[in-house]
Structure 1
Amino acid sequence: MKDEDALADFLAHKKRLTDIFFPNSKSAIIHHDTSAYDEFWKFLLRLQKIVRKSCSEGLDGCLLSKKSKLNIRTSNYRLEDYVRHSDVSRHSHRSLARSELDCFHLIYDMYLDFLLKRKFARIVKLRIDQSVLPIANFRTELLSTLSKHQVVIVAGDTGCGKSTQVPQYLYYGESNLNDTPGPNSYQNIAVTQPRRIACISLAARVSTEMLNERGSKVGYQVRFERSRTKATRILFLTEGLLLRQMQRDPFLNDYDVIVLDEVHERHWQTDCLLGLVKCLIVVRPKLRVVLMSATINVNTFAKFFNDCPIIQVPGRLYPIDLHYIPLSPVEIANTTDRIDPAPYIRLLRRIDVTYPATERGDLLIFLSGMADIQAIMEPAKAYAEETKRWIILPLHSALSASDQEKVFHVAPDCVRKCILSTNIAETSLTIDGIRFVADSGKVKELSWDSKARMRCLKEFSISKASANQRKGRAGRTGPGVCYRFYTQEDYDNFEAFSTPEIRRVPLETLVLQMLVMGLPDIKKFPFIDPPEMKCIDEALDILKSHGAIIPQNNVLTVTPLGQLLSDIPVEFSIGRMLIMASLLRLTNPVLSLAAGMAIQCPLLPYTAFSGAEQTRRIDALAEYESDHGDAFTLVNVFDEWIKMKSEATGLIKQDHELDEFDNDNDKGCTNIKRWCRRIGAQQQRLHEMVRLRSQFAQLLKDSGLLDSKSTESDKNLSRTQHFKNLNYARRSERMKSKRRRLLTLQDNLSENSESEKEDHHVESDSSKLRKWLSASSRSSINSSNVPVQDLELVLCYNLSSLAQSANIQQNMTQADLQLLKVVLAGGMYPQLAIGDSANAYRVANRGGTAGAGAEMVFHTKNKGFVTLHPNDVFVRKPDVLFPERNLKKRNNNHPNVSKVQKSQTSLSNKNSKQSRDDDFDDEQTEEENIPEVLPSGFAYDHQLLMYLDLMETTKPFLVNTIRVPALPTLLLYCREVDTNADISRIVFDSWLEVRLLDVEAAQRAVATTIWLRSTTQCLMEYELAECLRRRDQTLTGDSGDGCDNGNTTTKTSTKYCSSKKDENKRKIRRLQRILSHSLAAFLAGQPGGAYSIKRLLAADVKQLFRKQDNNDNNICENQSQFKSMPKTCKKINVDDIPLQEPDHESGITFNLFKGGYQVTDYLNIDSLYPEMISVEGRSSVEDIDEPEYYDPSSSYNLAVRLRKQIASGSLNEASSDDNYKCLNENTSLYEPNKNENEEDCFENDDFLDEGKTTCGTCGKFIKIQGTLQTSMLRHRRNCQPYND
């Protein structure tokens, strides 16, 4: 072998050499889809250049001399096979000679030796960098102090290295940083971080420093993702996850050391953990706790832990020049509505003039929010385009991961980066190369208005601690400059520290989690800064109203519902939605709706676009907008995205048409990236919806509310063999994200234009995934370069099943939609808003530029005059919120559900008016409709808005709204229902008043509602009791107890348990069927007839209730006087109408606070302050006999009849098992005969579907008209046994 052999044309044989030396197998040292492979060919060209030069100088043997000095030599059996076969091949003359192949093998070994030396040099540099960190000088002190004290505080300035080095010090102890831990070492370490991005990045950094990149010694665990294994010794996790681990294991026995990082940020989870850890160290003396904080108020933490020791670590900051450049009065005046970009453009010019372009250094500008970033970005980009010396990059939490990574890349020579950031760069991220910092002095913080039940995102001045933290970002890598856009006097007036988050947020989630942990009295919990007691009382009241906790023996006890809500890591409203959905078997659509509500909206706001681009985005999204609400719009987008993903990967046609997707072209496949950009959707958020949807399904499955066969994940067991590929892809993705690239001036262009160009030249991600799926063997992902998220979507989740669910959801019947709204309303109540009476005028004459409904005003119970968010669908479709004035009265028979189900409608109703008509079943009955002129303000279809959140920025906005029918929603979910004597007037929760024209229809609606609410409560108690039984059975099964106890009665006990289990399931299924049928019929039947609705003002509430006197003699005396009044009186002053004393056996009681008869815990009859009434009032129902005069006992008789509805209104007889006792003693619609089997009455669904049933008292057949409940009520009026 000579040096001339190295000059062979290896590139001409690149494919063959790649197969020999870089094969597509796991045993290969270098894979041909990695950057090391590309670098090898560059290394080869450079080496050939050197050899060519040496040969021209007459030198030879350079390569052979290198051979003996290599630290690594490899053998290659593929090379021997190739040489052996090429000798007998007829094309051997076209192949490389043996000497040339041996020379290439030598070059390959030289390259591996080069990589090894380079990596070793990096390790040496890494160890040197670790040794010069300020925290390195305090390693011995930290370990010795921790061996003597349970709690140690490490207070270190920015850049001291505490977050990466302290976990390693704890693991290795006093030994050097190697694989052998020494004295004072700990083997199970938990490190909490406030943000998931910090957990992932710190775990990657620490694993690199510990030379364990491909191992699992260091892991992380965040929501949706984890790398933790049994071998993990250092675990980075979020604070919320550690709290949930304490629910399962209150003593945290899995950890020897708990490190709480960034405690100075004072999140509510941090404060909760501090109090819990303070209690934990008492019962676990060997547990060690390390608190790590910036040098901010560390004495507060030390005093909280009984004056624990503090280790002060100085930061590694270079000198920073500080300049105050306050805004002028004119500029301050211009920033009232929107920030003025002029001072910031002036700063860019100042840097260009003062500092030469050859001096490196980037600019970081701290702004208060996204709106300010958008306001400054366009002028800054225009200036950058003019000077060619700046690259403008935004940084905020709404950006995708790829866009956030741009701030870490390097700017070219003579060009600087200008990063426009929120306070996310203050502590969470460290960006190298920052020399200049501009501080606006403002920050937007969330606060909580408990009186209005509203979140407030308002702009505040930052604290002194935050100002110093921002300034420190300029001195990380060299001398820096900090510009403050405020005066020295303003800085002196700043607060010293920020307000702890626990005093700025609602406390329901915190209080429930603490109660689940078994803490008896929340008010005595050792908070480092206790919240206000009224906030805790308010949280407890809300938990009681939701049914999550109940007082028992003066102790608050968590109910099964509360236990389930604590297991679901979302807001209470979303958790209740999921539980309600499981009761009515509407899990699939609600999983998507709940997942969309629980994350940051995947649809970019309209304010993120401008001009023609904004118009194009509105037009593109209009196809998927639903006039039912924002959540339905998001589900339409999600379902369409899922179907496109399935079609693009070929999974929908995988069984019989896979071959047509095996080719490379994308013909017939939609470009998903371009579609997402066109409608403004973020794929990253849509992937989060898939993960969260699967997590919700798994939580419902674990709690017993969802069958195992209903979850998609169970169908993916055959794909577990590909999880190694997924883990490899994730690791490669993390390695790619750590590599920095060189930015160009093209990064100033809009993302859309740049991506459009890439689409035409780069193979689509869907095509890569499709080719990998259609390959005969999927054993390796190395060469396919498939995106991690797409691979995860296919391997971890059943994409074809999701696509099938999407098709079903887009073809839901109107009855299904109404039931879906019932489920959503059950979760979101009491977050309800009513439109202002002048909204019609505002829409007609004052529509804003954002849409016709931009000026509409709404009112909640606690906050008046709120508006819709500019991105709300009802801003552009306000007409659906108004009742239909031309609506004709339906005939008295309510429509049958089966007829409603014939009318198919999509979730995305393009025609708003058509959708509103569909809300009341367009099927015509055989009888002609009777035209009716309704009084002003009366209608059949008033609408209310349910909202997920009430947020105040510049003004209060309703966020994530859904329209629901007013009267059915109020009847089903209001917690206080007060009526007058004949239920022609109803007040809900003391703030909404409904007046009804048809008195009997109103009474039927209330009676039906009582039955529906009782049945729903009964079903929920059955389900929750069944969940508890399953959990107890699991525990006893694990301990060896239970039904199978190994004695002679084993078979009998097992048979009894199985029979009992089947009986409970049968009862639950029967309740679900009948409840779903009845709810659909109730919603489709216009309960109550025509009605008006209005919001009560403060003056109206003052004299709202009668407040009945409890003097029995006075009642009887007034009663006799009232009966002696003449019947011919046309108008009666009922200012002091007496109430009949209730019978003790009736179950009716006086409401001592409001007056009237209390029928249920939510319903009060005749409790409203009486009005002047007309004796000649006429009912609009013709077959009802009208009373000739007002009977003072009528309200009492009505209350008694409704109370009987409670006693005989459920579907099941009371169970003898104590675990399954429902609210009612007898829950059948009628009282069955003693000789009649309950199964014969209700199990025959076909008989019910025919529209007939049987009276259990007289035995006659009853034709079902409308709901089953109203049909039974009509029959009872003529049923002789009942009248007797």
Structure 2
Amino acid sequence: MPPQPQVIYQPVQSEEGSSGSDRLDPGPYLRVMQTIEERYPAEERGDLLIFLSGAAEIGIVAEAARTLAALTKRWVVLPLHSGLSASEQDKVFDVAPPGVRKCIVATNIAETSVTIDGVRFVIDSGKVKEMSFDPKAKMQRLQEFWISRASAEQRAGRAGRTGPGVCYRLYAESDYQAFAPYPVPEMQRVALDALVLQMKSMGLGDPRTFPFIEPPPLASVETAIRYLQDQGALDSSENLTTVGKLLADLPVDVVIGKILILGSTFDLVEPVLTLAAALSLQSPFLRQAGLECATARKPLESDQGDPFTLLNAFEEWLQVKSVRGGHSRKWCRRRALQEQRLYEMVNLRQQFKMLLKDHQLLREEGGSSKDSYRRQQRHRERQELQKVKRQHEEQDGRRRKVLRLEEEEEGSSEEEGSHRSGTHPRVVDIQDVKFKLRHNVEELHAAAVSQQLSPRCFQLLKLLVCCGLYPQLAVPDEFNSRRKDSEQIFHTQNKQGVVLHPTSVFSSNPGLLHVEEECHRETLGLRSEQSHHHQVLAFVSLLETNKPYLLNCVRVPALQYLLLSARSLDTSADCGRVVVDGWLELVLADPAVGVQILSNVMRLRDSWEQVLTDQLKLTEQHGGADDEEEQRRIRHLRESLCQRLMDFLEAEVPYSIRQLTGLERQNLFVGPQLVTDMPLLEVLSVGSECQPHPLKGGLAVNEYLTYNCLAGQDLYSGCLRTFWTCPTCDLRLPLTPLERWQHETGCRAKAEEGEQAASASILGSRPSVPRGLQQPFHCDHCQQDFLFTPTQILRHKWQHR
């Protein structure tokens, strides 16, 4: 049993410094280092481990400690935190020269995750930064807390594990007694989306009433359920959907899983695999980049968003790797990139690819006889690499690395023999060797196809990523164009006043998010002007440190993205005004265009769901006799949908967008109405399956669209019909928007049935069974019974007027 370390309390009188600023004062840490120098001879071995709360604090103390080390020549200062590369972290295990001590400045990563031999002294700041979750704002917070008593004992135990040690605590003993006994359980401070999804898939009942040993906050459970419903994993009854069952089987985050599913469904697997891997890991870009690094990094930046900048960096790195003799390490250093993160992206990408294959979302491609030469060549290369790896491991096992007293911050450590003799042996990049052993660089480079995508395919890829991220979106503040670049403000549905993270491509170029061209200068009584250039940001996560930051953002056209992804669309009687998810208002310059756009949206969303559902059903039934025929049918539907999606995204429609105020949200809907009180509802519901919405009022057209339910309008204006000519059957009638949608649905169904029957012979598939559009109808005027479609019912009624 290791001896108990000596504990010395040295409370800091003014922890924030005498100037009153928030900057950490490194003085107390330097005084302890000087005390160690005075009390303990340099010949006595024993290194120092300092526990701080975060990377910023580590930088401050390490910088001051290096200044002291330069004067005394008694210390080698080494930082240790998760943001460092693997090679920089490994330096803490190297040996200091005789008469010199290591000063390791670390976060709580050194508390339990890493054991460093030779540590005799510990300085405990008593602080830790932990991630907590705000269910109301759907936001993570990285905040500084006092540690628990258990953590304090764990830190003290790092001192003198093999001999007598000393722990200096920079807080009072009374503070220690006031600490919580144990840290807060992780379940009570993280998002519960994945947990709730797994509980649903295992049939464990309602997560709200599950007997947890350490129950999470009920608000976090409710937020997780709503989020899974927004993502389409749970239906309105909180049961798993087809997508939800597959997401539960994929051991990844819900957003990443949905992006992978969409990418495989729409045949954009390779770039989606890279994006999913990049978004699952810490960014490889270092923030401490100088002007030269920023200039070299500039060609990698994408004006579409941060995930595509990561995609560019990854594919450019693969390009360097594929060139024989390419120096990827030098390339990464020049652009301030952590190559270790890129290696992790490759490995994670391969794991995602295997997951898709295991779940039949990605088919195996059979090899050909033409590849035999390549396989032989690959086998010879692997043999050579295995030989290099064995030689490196044998040599590395015999060598003892010794840290250099000068320039230790540059990361140079030499072997004892080579340093003394002045010779430098050939350095083997063992990470590169392992990478080439595990992966085929040529195949990886061939899969990096994003730069070869057509503009339309790239727009589809961006749409798939953003649909996977929904409802994580932010809208720019209306006055951003008048603010400085560093003062740009954005708003989410549940959090106001968030800002872009400094690492975002939009942070250095916010003009990409401003409205470039106003189509109509008049504001129509609104604060936001009419334009077809409005954009919103889809983001991966919302993190609050000293400010709430948006991380990994993608810009996307506001109107098209919101209408295609929203869970709730509420319209006025003329469809010139649409409210999205109860917090964003879209006002179109031409209400007639709004009717047509909503008609297109309903058609696109129905086709989207059909393609996704059919593809997932085919995945479940993989191996059937009609597999190839069904694949051809789904491919035909997908290509047709993609073409219509691209046309919709490229449409230029002038509109305004603004965020509703709290008072406007409270008085947004007309409320429940009776048919007898509103003749409008009786007129519009004739021959329709639409029913009055029980809460909002108006008519529920489908699960996401409610027609004519917004307050502050003439509710009877929906009775006013305008003449309209059907582009399919050339019928010209005065119709309300709802009647027009019903007519278009009937005509479109007949046209699609004809197209399916015509394409059945081409695709070699059986024509699908027509949907039952006709329904019994009794006419009170002519006292006859008919079997009519909704359009035929309207036409027949119109004849009696």
The reply to whether TM is greater than 0.5 is: yes
2:797, 2:678 → 1: CA distance?
Answer: 29
Q: 1:1020 to 1:333 in 2, by over 3 A?
A: farther
In angstroms, what is the RMSD of aligned CA positions?
Answer: 3.5
Aligned with residue 884 of structure 1, among 477, 502, 516: 516
Pair 1:1083-2:649 in alignment: yes
CA deviation vs aligned residue, 1:480-502 (integer Å, no higher than 9, x gap): 11111111121121111100000
Task: Say if 2:232 is the partner of 1:547.
Answer: yes
Alignment partner of 1:676 out of 332, 357, 364 = 332
Q: Indicate whether 1:339 and 2:24 are aligned.
A: yes
**Match of residue 352 from structure 2:** 696
Sort the Cα spacing of 1:762 and 1:697 in 2 relative to 1 into closer, same or farther, 3 A. farther
Provide structure 2 residue ranges, at least 5 long, that are not aligned to the other structure: 726-732, 765-790
Matched residue SS, 2:304: coil
Question: Hey, what does 1:1061 align to over in structure 2?
Answer: 627
Do the aligned partners of 2:231 and 2:468 also contact (CA within 8 Å) in 1? no
Q: CA deviation at 1:933?
A: 5.3
How far apart in 2 are the matches of 1:711 and 1:834? 48
Retained in 2: the 8 A contact 1:1148–1:1200? no
Matched, 1:820 2:458: no
Shift of 1:569: 2.9
Supply the distance in 2 between the matched residues of 1:738 and 1:525 (Cα, whole angstroms).
55
Q: Among residues 652, 673, 693, which one is paired with 1:1151 in the alignment?
A: 693
Distance 1:525 1:722 in 2: 55
Is the counterpart of residue 975 in structure 1 residue 567 in structure 2?
A: yes
Q: Distance in 1 between matches of 2:188 and 2:587?
A: 42
Deviation at 1:459, TM superposition (A): 0.4
Q: Secondary structure at the match of 1:957?
A: strand
Larger CA deviation: 399-408 vs 1160-1169: 399-408
Aligned: 1:1095 with 2:659: yes
Give 1:748's aligned residue: 408
Per-residue displacement from partner, 1:873-898 (whole Å, max 9, x unpaired)?
11111111011136xx6xxxxxxxxx
Instruction: Give the Å deviation of 1:988.
Output: 0.2
Q: Which residue of 2 is the match for residue 910 of structure 1?
A: none
- In the alignment, what sits opposite 1:797? 439
Identical positions, percent: 40
* 3-state SS in 2 of match to 1:364: strand
Partner of 2:779: none
Residue 831 of structure 1 corresponds to 472
CA offsets 1:901-922 (integer angstroms, 9 cap, x no match) = xxxxxxxxxxxxxxxxxxxxxx
Which consecutive unaligned segments of at least 5 residues does structure 1 have?
1-315, 649-668, 766-784, 844-852, 890-931, 1034-1056, 1117-1137, 1186-1192, 1210-1225, 1245-1275
Shift of residue 670, structure 1, vs aligned partner: 4.9
CA deviation digits over 1:37-89, x for unaligned, max 9? xxxxxxxxxxxxxxxxxxxxxxxxxxxxxxxxxxxxxxxxxxxxxxxxxxxxx
Structure 1 395/1204 Cα, relative in aligned 2: closer, same or farther at 3 Å? farther
Cα separation, partners in 2 of 1:1083 and 1:720, compared to 1, 3 Å: same
* 1:417-496 equivalences in 2 (<5 Å): 417-496=102-181
- Give the equivalent residue in structure 1 for 2:534: 942
Query: For 2:754, what is the secondary structure of its paired residue?
Result: coil
- SS of aligned partner of 1:1026: helix
Q: Secondary structure at the match of 1:987?
A: strand
Q: Distance in 2 between matches of 1:520 and 1:731?
A: 53
1:1199 to 738, 744, 752: 738
Question: Comparing 537-546 with 516-525, which one deviates more in the overlay?
Answer: 516-525
Corresponding residue to 1:617 among 293, 298, 307:
293
Mapped partners of 1:738, 1:703: distance in 2: 46
Matched, 1:1113 2:655: no
The answer as to whether partners of 1:1147 and 1:1203 remain within 8 angstroms in 2 is no
- 1-structure distance, mates of 2:249, 2:499: 34
**SS state of the match for residue 401, structure 2?**
coil
Q: In 1, distance between residues paired with 2:593 and 2:173? A: 71
Helix, strand or coil: the match of 1:675? helix
Q: Report the counterpart of residue 356 of structure 1 in structure 2.
A: 41
Further displaced range: 474-483 or 338-347: 338-347
Tell me which amino acid in the other structure corresponds to 1:1150: P
Partners in 2 of 1:582 and 1:948 — Cα distance? Answer: 20
For 1:475, the aligned partner's letter is: G
Q: CA 1:567 to 1:854, structure 2 compared with 1: closer, same or farther past 3 Å?
A: farther
Judge which range, 814-823 or 743-752, deviates more.
743-752
Structure 2 distance, partners of 1:568, 1:322, is 48
Residues 520 and 1205 (structure 1), Cα distance of their counterparts in 2 relative to 1, 3 Å cut: farther
- Give the 3 Å change call, closer, same or farther, for CA 486–633 of structure 1 in structure 2: same
Note closer, same or farther for the CA distance 1:1174–1:557 as it changes in structure 2 (3 Å cut). closer
Letter in structure 1 aligned against 2:184: T
> Which whole-Å CA distance do the structure 1 matches of 2:630 and 2:97 have between them?
70
8 Å CA contact retained: 2:517, 2:533: no
Q: Which amino acid aligns with 1:381?
A: R
Q: Which stretch of structure 1 is more off in the superposition, 320-329 or 738-747?
A: 738-747
* Distance of aligned partners of 1:731 and 1:1157 in 2 relative to their CA distance in 1, 3 Å threshold: farther
Following the alignment from structure 1 to structure 2, what is the Cα–Cα distance between the partners of residues 688 and 858? Answer: 32
Counterpart pick for 2:257 among 564, 567, 575: 575
- Aligned positions of 1:631-1030 closer than 5 A: 631-648=307-324, 670-709=326-365, 719=378, 736=396, 740-746=400-406, 748-751=408-411, 787=430, 789-806=431-448, 808-843=449-484, 853-885=485-517, 935=523, 937-1030=529-622
1:367·1:439 contact (CA, 8 Å) conserved in 2?
Answer: yes
- The answer as to whether partners of 1:596 and 1:631 remain within 8 angstroms in 2 is yes
- CA 1:1115–1:933 in structure 2 vs 1: closer, same or farther (change >3 Å)? closer
| Counterparts of 2:18 and 2:551, CA distance in 1 | 30
Rounded to whole Å, the distance in 2 between the matches of 1:794 and 1:619 is 30
| Shift in Å, 1:588 | 1.7
Does structure 2 retain, via aligned residues, the 8 Å contact 1:363–1:417? yes
Shift of residue 1231, structure 1, vs aligned partner: 5.3
Relative to structure 2, which stretch is displaced further, 364-373 or 342-351? 342-351
Q: 1:571, CA displacement in angstroms?
A: 1.7
Are the equivalent residues in 1 in contact too, given 2:708–2:715 (CA < 8 A)? no
Match of 1:297 in 2: none
| AA in 2 matched with 1:640 | E
CA deviations over 1:522-574 (Å, ceiling 9, x no partner):
4554532122334323323322332323477xxx6533322321333322112
In the superposition, relative to structure 1, how do residues 860 and 730 fare at CA in structure 2: closer, same or farther (>3 Å)?
A: farther
Higher-Rg structure is: 1
**How many angstroms apart in 2 are the aligned matches of 1:617 and 1:1151?**
57
Q: 1:1281 to 1:673 in 2, by over 3 A?
A: farther
State the Cα distance separating 1:793 from its structure 2 match.
Answer: 3.4
Relative to structure 1, the CA distance from residue 729 to residue 505 in structure 2 (aligned partners, 3 Å threshold; closer, same or farther) is farther
Indicate conservation of the 8 Å contact 2:118/2:160, yes or no.
Answer: no
Q: 1:328 to 1:737 in 2, by over 3 A?
A: farther
State how far apart, in whole Å, the 2-side matches of 1:597 and 1:882 are. 26
Q: Deviations over 1:943-996 (max 9, x none)?
A: 101100000011110011111110000010000000101111110000101111
Alignment of 1:139-150 (within 5 A): none
SS of the equivalent of 1:420 reads strand
1:1212-1231 matches, cutoff 5 A: 1226=749, 1230=752
Amino acid at match of 2:124: D
Q: Match for residue 916 of structure 1? A: none
Q: What amino acid does structure 2 have at the position aligned with 1:597? A: L
Contact 2:275 2:307 in 1 (8 A): yes
Q: CA deviation at 1:1066?
A: 1.6
Are the counterparts in 1 of residues 17 and 23 from structure 2 also a CA contact under 8 Å?
no
Q: Please list the CA deviations of residues 690-740 of structure 1 after superposition, one character each: whole Å capped at 9, or x if unmatched.
A: 11222222222222222322999x999765787787778777777747964
Q: Distance in 2 between matches of 1:488 and 1:1085?
A: 68
Residue 479 (structure 1) shift: 0.8
CA distance in 2: counterparts of 1:752 and 1:593, whole angstroms: 34
Following the alignment from structure 1 to structure 2, what is the Cα–Cα distance between the partners of residues 473 and 419?
Answer: 12
Residue of structure 1 equivalent to 2:281: 599
Whether the 8 Å CA contact 2:472–2:540 is kept in 1: the answer is: yes
Task: Summarize the alignment of residues 1154-1193 of structure 1 with structure 2, pairs less than 5 Å apart.
Answer: 1154-1171=696-713
SS at match of 1:1161: coil
Matched-pair contact (CA < 8 Å) for 2:16–2:22:
no
**Paired letter, 1:1232:** G
Superposed CA offset, 1:1068-1100 (max 9, x none): 1111110111111111122xx111111111011
Cα distance change of structure 1 residues 972 and 443 upon mapping to structure 2, 3 Å threshold: same
Q: Cα 1:883–1:551, aligned 2, differ >3 Å: closer, same or farther?
A: closer
Residue 405 of structure 1, CA deviation: 1.5
User: Structure 1's 481 and 1065: CA in aligned 2 closer, same or farther, altered over 3 A?
Assistant: same
Equivalent residue number for residue 759 of structure 2: 1239
